[in-house]
Amino acid sequence: MKVVITRPKERADVFSKLLKKEGFEPIIFPTLELIYNKDIKVNLDNYDWIVFTSPSGVIGLYNIIEEAQREEVKNKKIAVIGEKTAKAFKEYFGREVDVMPKEYTAESLLEEIKKTAKSDDKFLIPTTPSTRDVLKNNLNADLLFVYKSVEPENLKENIEKLKENIKDERFILTFTSGLTAKNFFKYVDDEFAEIIKNNYIVAIGPITAKVIEEFGFKPLIPKIYTIEGILEVIKMIKEGKND
């Protein structure tokens, strides 16, 4: 069975390898490209916390600060949205994070932060301009746009080619963010929509699922909001246990 991976190319390889190991045929089809901003500066002295909502935020901050500032980061309170981001933080900065919610959503992360943060704490959120406003609107926070997500060139034409490639086969579409889903489904024509409805869609979590549902599709959602969680759903589909 073919599995379409719509996440950015540089973040698709791990998922692709997991799928191949389980006997699936991955199709890497990015609906987003990540571009890191290297022309910004930040004064870390102004902040008590740094909050990361993706591994890309970790990488983006690491890229723009000097070695001395990387040591400063270790002295801040660190909150992350989920285990992949926590893993990235440990890989780049060399220590464990302080706060991570059990459910990997901005809303859950906000609640966990509120349990330990002081009322006058200041937060830095290295992120993208397309980020949701949940944390910004509820914390004394500054957003630092360390990367941006852009639509790949010729995406509409490439979606048409993808349709021709998979229309006569069983397939699963996977989405790891609302933006990957939005960029994809806005170019899906009526013919492809009917084909998709006879196959499967898996969203990494409820926020991504909500975007997909706005286009008239009903995705499956894993119990754990990670690519490993998506893989478990895909395996259940293969075994006919997804109902």
Of 187, 209, 242, 235, the C-alpha closest to 105 is 209
In the chain, where the domains are located: 2-32+153-238, 34-149
Give the pLDDT score at 171: 97
- How far from 217 is each of 1, 37, 188, 196, CA to CA, in Å? 20, 34, 11, 9
**CATH number for the domain running over 34-149:** 3.40.50.10090
Give the pLDDT score at 242: 64
* Angle, vertex CA 108, rays to CA 236 and CA 225, nearest 5: 20
Instruction: Give the C-alpha separation, 12 to 74, whole Å.
Output: 28
Of 146, 148, 134, 143, the C-alpha closest to 47 is 143
Domains 2-32+153-238 and 34-149 share a fold: yes
Instruction: Give the C-alpha separation, 107 to 19, whole Å.
Output: 30
Give the pLDDT score at 132: 84
Give the pLDDT score at 240: 84
Taking only the tens of pLDDT, the chain with its 243 residues reads 999 999 999 889 999 999 999 999 999 999 999 999 988 999 999 999 999 999 999 999 999 999 999 999 999 999 999 999 999 999 999 999 999 999 989 999 999 999 999 999 999 999 999 888 899 999 999 999 999 999 999 999 999 999 999 999 999 999 999 999 999 999 999 999 999 999 999 999 999 999 999 999 999 999 999 999 999 999 999 888 765
In sequence order, the β-bridge partners of residue 124 are 50, 142
Report, at the CATH architecture level, how domain 2-32+153-238 is classified: 3-Layer(aba) Sandwich (3.40)
Give the pLDDT score at 39: 87
